[in-house]
Amino acid sequence: MPYNQDLTNHFEADAAETVIAWALKQWGSQLGFCTSFQAEGMVLIDMARKMDADIRVFTIDTGRLHQETYIFMDQVRKHYGIDIQVYFPDLLQVESMVSRNGPNLFYESATSRIACCQVRKVAPLRRALKGLDAWVVGLRRDQGGHRRGIRKVEKDHDHGGIMKISPLADWTQDEVWSYIKTHKVPQHPLYAQGYMSIGCAPCTRAIQPGENTRAGRWWWETDTPKECGLHYAPETGSFERNLDVFVEQKAS
């Protein structure tokens, strides 16, 4: 089915497997599965791998990940028999940023943190998506913030208007973990230590009982969006424009 204005509503009542099967048929090798090896991403890889032997999986290695993530990445590669394309930040950009602001600039201010995310995450993602027609992500509406408005299929204006697929948009956290247990999907080892959102090691911590699942991200910040810029409103691209402003301010 080619994209049209009604496509954003077409799959809203369909199961995640239906959305993935359609996307694989529609784009084949031009469809990328983006993962940081968290629970949702593992569910998507498991579903897709059962449908297609040649799924295209990629991840962003910021250079500041937990050692547990690197170990788990190897486990996932072997378990599913897949290649995982790894994208790194530009060395010269990292050198320049760290030389000016130090290795832990993200603790200084939200502006500094977002500038770091721009270099280590957002810029590599642009390279990862180059040449793709669509990408699949594990976003869920009940994660809060702007994610409440995501669609299962929508145009991503932050990345040239390619399609962004969120098959688990209407899933709950309980449904994610029920699938993992039922299908014996490999789990990131940090979940057993109380982590519920796993990113860079300096910017992620385990959460306490009763805390929001994303409370462990950038926990030192208050009243700031718990986002890094990889995912924001596809229909506007507004966060990317703000990121560009932040980076220009840090460079001046």
| Structural tokens at position 146 | 């702007």
| Catalytic member of 117, 200, 203, 228 | 228
Is residue 157 within 8 Å of 236, Cβ to Cβ?
Answer: yes
Decide: helix, strand or coil at residue 103. Answer: coil
* DSSP annotation string for 138-187: ---GGG-GGGGG--SEEEEGGGTTEEEE-TTTT--HHHHHHHHHHTT---
175 phi and psi, to 5 degrees?
-65, -35
What is the identity of the amino acid at 74?
A: D
Quick check: 231 and 137 in contact, CB under 8 A?
Answer: yes
Number of alpha carbons in the 13 Å side-chain half-sphere of residue 216? 20
CA separation for the pair 125, 21 (Å, rounded): 24
E strand or H helix at 57: strand 56-60
Give the max Cα distance, the chain. Answer: 52
What amino acid is encoded at 19 in this protein?
Answer: V
Whether residue 228 lies in the annotated active site = yes
The residues annotated with a catalytic role in the active site are: 228
